[in-house]
Structure 1
Amino acid sequence: MRETNQLIEFIRDIFHTHDFIPLHEPSFSGHEKAYVLDTIESTFVSSVGAYVGQFEEQLSTYTGSDFTIATMNGTAALHTALLLAGVRQNDIVITQALTFVATCNAIHYCGAEPAFIDVARESLGMCPEALSQFLEEYAILDDHGDCLLKETRQKISACLPMHTFGHPVDLDELESVCQRWHLPLVEDAAESLGSLYKGQHTGTRGLVGVLSFNGNKIMTTGGGGAVLTQREELFNQGKHLTTTAKVPHPFEYVHDQVGYNYRLPNLNAALGVAQLEQLDEFIIKKRHLASAYAAFCESEGIEFLQEPHYARSNYWLNAMICSSMDERNQVLEVTNKQGVMTRPIWKLACDLQPYSQALRGDLSMSRWLERRVVNLPSSATAYE
């Protein structure tokens, strides 16, 4: 209890308030009001408007992606990315069990099934060794070079790691395993805008990548997401899919396949353009906050989740690792009771009812972390 009270006091000092402290709140200190008002005055508030294209171009410049497709939310972006990677009905997509449910839901939207593997201790993201072991045990390559489940002959059509809390997974090692097994790599970079893997922005290493701009992310469009790719044909296909697969015509409504109304509205894109102008500043503030947490935790003998040695993390959500589940529960109960919002890491996806029958490998590290991780208040507004 003494350590938890000291943690609460430290957090209140950092955020300079005795009021309620949320886990993560947005910061609107730039041109947000002016740009949003501009869209209202233009009347182009829906998916047709200048800010949508501007936002996509600026995201491409910032991330180093050749092509960007802005979508209404991160889950829509992930669904689109999986379709572009070739995921189809009855396929298997390998992902991590320690993830937000949207990762699995997007797989399900494709009519596919997730298969869950363990995460690495350093990143909390997909473990390359666990991926390799899973494939050696459960998969084969057929005569056509397709990766199949041995038992059911279902196609394993993609590998989907997530950069947990903004900490990049080991992409070199994962890509090496995926190449051996002929698997497209799809990056769930929803939490890692501004994070770098060996100097390269997350979401740009795989065949396709995904970002999210939900209200609780490092920058926000209210709701919003993006698909990143270096391949023009995938960009064109994705743009078509996310705009209801409408064939250009002066006046006729022609749709040549099943499409989705996933385009980001101009109103949201305007907010995004203003937020993106401040992103570097947000990252500086969040990394400063992470350093303060790290120093406090070290002084108190608490383990703080640091960025992997090969990466620069955006520290979207800061996390401490408790010594036991009892300690985790005590921290959660006391902090929330005193108006400091903390949260546990997600319940493992394989324990959620919709995915309880999914194939899984050994998940010992995921379960160990599930019982110990606590997310701490992480808003960049701590330094405003």
Structure 2
Amino acid sequence: MFKTELNFIKSLFAPQEQIPLHEPRFIGNEQNYLNECLKSGFVSSVGEFVNKFEKTLAQKTKSKFVVAMNSGTSALHIALLVNGVKANHEVITQSLSFVATANAIAYTGAKPIFIDIDEKSLSLSPKALRAFLKKTAFIKDKKCFNKSTKKRIKACIVMHSFGLSAKIIELKQICEDFHIALIEDAAEAVGSLYKNKALGTFAKAGIYSFNGNKIITGGCGGVLLSDDEKLALKARHLSTTAKIAHAYEYKHDKVGYNYRLCNINAALLLAQLEKLGEFVENKRSLAKQYKAFFKDNKNFSFVDESKDEKSNFWLNTLIAKDENTRTAFIEQAHKEKIYLRPAWQGLHSLKMYKNCQRDELKNTLKFISRIVNLPSSVRLKD
């Protein structure tokens, strides 16, 4: 079963004992920059590579401000805090996402509300969001409140699934209409564009992740992006233990967080960032081959980008005709050491979030048990 599909996947990658889902590639200045970092003695949260990385990423994304942190989760937590999210608030997001999206909301003490996904983008649905807010929310003094809980709906996090773009323009307009702060969880979308603009730069705050399984990595790492100087300065302050600048004294004026990216990780990331464009084109070539192969497949359909976007295709994605087909495909692949994976478990179904408010999640429930992520690493030339 699935012999043709699995043989095709094998043919896309150089012969090897196993085919991982997504592995890092170090083919640039990584070793040179790491050696330079080690020689400098600055390997922790102070060092020139952190500054160089922030500046270079800002130039590439055309974001005015970039604040480097130790993970995408940390960056998302700070993004919520600088947008004023507190313990008595609620934050809308999607159930189809990695658990870090909901966890960052929980860190603030706020409660997540789970809204359905769009069937094309697999990200937050504008139609579902507007319908929920029309039915459930009311506006008072330019603030959005939940009719049932009376709590303020302070923010909305949209996660760009698998590197594909959400319908971000529509979502931004809805959030403006209802006086809700929009935050982009673009953890998977580094290098992806929508209408020639970098994902992560549409909202007041956006974040990227540079975990080991992302398109570029520092082993760890994340950033907050914003064009709002006041917000960015606050994010930098909170993420560096809220330390007041002084030549030698340690003074802190808020409860801060030790989230600053280390210089040694930034050295690795700077080298990786220099290869981002090459990596994106490499992965887009792979996606083109997957798309062509699965075009007329009776068991699977390929999830493609829209006409207005240029995706990094972080993880190439299929929708199986049913859950049994998906499971059988993954199990057979794993026997042959081809490490496909399903989507995450729906956040609304996790025991710590199962009592949170949600809409019907019609598309979420329709697709989440049928998603297959394909091996999507950057392919090296022989």
Is 1:27–2:25 an aligned residue pair?
yes
SS of corresponding position for 2:25: coil
Counterpart of 2:267 in structure 1 is: 270
Q: Is the 8 A contact 1:197 1:312 kept in 2?
A: yes
Normalising by structure 2, report the TM-score. 0.98
SS of corresponding position for 2:91: strand
AA matched with 1:7:
E
Q: Aligned partners of 1:5, 1:375: CA distance in 2, in Å?
A: 17
Q: Aligned partners of 2:187, 2:74: CA distance in 1, in Å?
A: 11
Is 1:282–2:285 an aligned residue pair?
no
Counterpart of 1:315 in structure 2 is: 313
**Aligned-residue offset at 1:101:** 0.2
Q: Aligned partners of 1:120, 1:36: CA distance in 2, in Å?
A: 42
Is 1:378–2:376 an aligned residue pair?
yes
Counterpart of 1:194 in structure 2 is: 191
- Per-residue CA deviation, residues 302-358 of structure 1 (Å, 9 max, x unaligned), is 310101232111000001111000100110110011100000011100000110100
**Aligned-residue offset at 1:299:** 4.5
1:365 to 353, 363, 366: 363
2:172 to 156, 172, 175: 175
**Aligned-residue offset at 1:300:** 3.1
**Aligned-residue offset at 1:151:** 1.7
Q: Aligned partners of 2:358, 2:297: CA distance in 1, in Å?
A: 37
Q: Percent identity?
A: 45
Of the structure 1 ranges 9-18 and 94-103, higher mean CA displacement relative to structure 2 is found in: 9-18
Q: Is the 8 A contact 1:57 1:68 kept in 2?
A: yes
SS of corresponding position for 2:113: strand
Q: Is the 8 A contact 1:25 1:381 kept in 2?
A: no
1:343 to 322, 341, 344: 341
SS of corresponding position for 1:185: strand
Q: Aligned partners of 2:197, 2:213: CA distance in 1, in Å?
A: 24
AA matched with 1:49:
G
Counterpart of 2:157 in structure 1 is: 160
Q: Aligned partners of 1:10, 1:173: CA distance in 2, in Å?
A: 38
Q: Is the 8 A contact 1:342 1:374 kept in 2?
A: yes
SS of corresponding position for 2:104: helix
- Per-residue CA deviation, residues 194-253 of structure 1 (Å, 9 max, x unaligned), is 111111101111010000000000000110000000011011111100110001122221
1:190-229 to 2 correspondences below 5 Å: 190-229=187-226
1:15-94 to 2 correspondences below 5 Å: 15-94=13-92
2:289 to 289, 292, 296: 292
Q: Aligned partners of 2:358, 2:226: CA distance in 1, in Å?
A: 29
Q: Aligned partners of 1:382, 1:364: CA distance in 2, in Å?
A: 40
SS of corresponding position for 2:295: helix
**Aligned-residue offset at 1:382:** 5.2
Q: Aligned partners of 1:83, 1:333: CA distance in 2, in Å?
A: 41
Q: Aligned partners of 1:42, 1:382: CA distance in 2, in Å?
A: 32
AA matched with 1:198:
K
AA matched with 1:189:
A
Q: Aligned partners of 1:80, 1:17: CA distance in 2, in Å?
A: 43
Q: Aligned partners of 1:278, 1:199: CA distance in 2, in Å?
A: 19
AA matched with 1:277:
E
**Aligned-residue offset at 1:383:** 4.8
Q: Aligned partners of 1:150, 1:138: CA distance in 2, in Å?
A: 6
Q: Aligned partners of 1:18, 1:218: CA distance in 2, in Å?
A: 21
Q: Aligned partners of 2:231, 2:61: CA distance in 1, in Å?
A: 17
Q: Aligned partners of 1:349, 1:43: CA distance in 2, in Å?
A: 42
| RMSD across aligned positions (CA) | 1.0
SS of corresponding position for 2:6: helix
Counterpart of 1:306 in structure 2 is: 304
Name the CA shift for 1:12/1:224 in 2 (closer, same or farther; >3 Å).
same
Counterpart of 1:234 in structure 2 is: 231
AA matched with 2:81:
L
**Aligned-residue offset at 1:18:** 4.3
Q: What is the total number of aligned residue pairs between the two structures?
A: 381
Counterpart of 1:111 in structure 2 is: 109
1:150 to 147, 155, 160: 147
AA matched with 1:82:
L
**Aligned-residue offset at 1:371:** 1.6
Q: Aligned partners of 2:132, 2:310: CA distance in 1, in Å?
A: 28
Q: Aligned partners of 1:49, 1:376: CA distance in 2, in Å?
A: 38
**Aligned-residue offset at 1:90:** 2.1
Normalising by structure 1, report the TM-score. 0.98
AA matched with 2:203:
G
Q: Is the 8 A contact 1:15 1:383 kept in 2?
A: no
Is 1:250–2:247 an aligned residue pair?
yes
SS of corresponding position for 2:76: helix
SS of corresponding position for 2:379: helix
Q: Aligned partners of 2:369, 2:377: CA distance in 1, in Å?
A: 24
Unmatched tracts of structure 2, length 5 or more: none
**Aligned-residue offset at 1:381:** 2.5
AA matched with 2:142:
G
